[in-house]
Structure 1
Amino acid sequence: MAKPEDSGEGAGAREEKRNTSLRLEGRTLKALKLRAVEEGTSVQKIVERLIEDYLSTGGKGRA
């Protein structure tokens, strides 16, 4: 059984990660992967951060 990953919300705060999938244009995914490498992070972390930012603003902004 896989152990839950840290949600990054402080000491002891753990939330089980769930899987999802999305379809992106090939060039978009390639650029995202390159950016993740350049920033020393992962595509998953970038996408999660973007979604959290979007949700924290009430969904206002670019769609």
Structure 2
Amino acid sequence: MSKEKSESEIEEKKKNTSLRLSNKTLKALKIKAIEEETSVQKIAEQLIEDYLAGHIKLKKRK
């Protein structure tokens, strides 16, 4: 008897991390995620992947 793997089992294993964001930033991010029918997790992961791939450059702050 073979078991089909769930989507989460096929997907790469993930680790938890945490971020410190201002209340204002986190609230805006949650609202944007809801408007785009996605999650804060997916937004953060995509942004990080794009940054690591060199598609996004950080602005230098004074």
TM-score tier by shorter-chain length is 0.7 to 0.9
Structure 2 equivalent of residue 29 of structure 1? 26
Structure 1 equivalent of residue 36 of structure 2? 39
Q: Which residues of structure 1 form unaligned runs of 5+?
A: 7-11
**Structure 2 residue 57 is the aligned partner of structure 1 residue 61:** yes
The answer to whether the 8 A contact 1:36-1:43 is kept is yes
Cα distance between partner residues in 2 of 1:40 and 1:50: 16
Percent identical pairs in the alignment equals: 56
Q: Which residues of structure 2 form unaligned runs of 5+?
A: 1-5
- Superposition TM-score, scaled by structure 1 size: 0.73
- Superposition TM-score, scaled by structure 2 size: 0.74
Provide the alpha-carbon RMSD of the alignment.
2.4
Cα distance between partner residues in 1 of 2:25 and 2:36: 16
Cα distance between partner residues in 1 of 2:13 and 2:41: 14
Q: Which has the larger radius of gyration?
A: 2
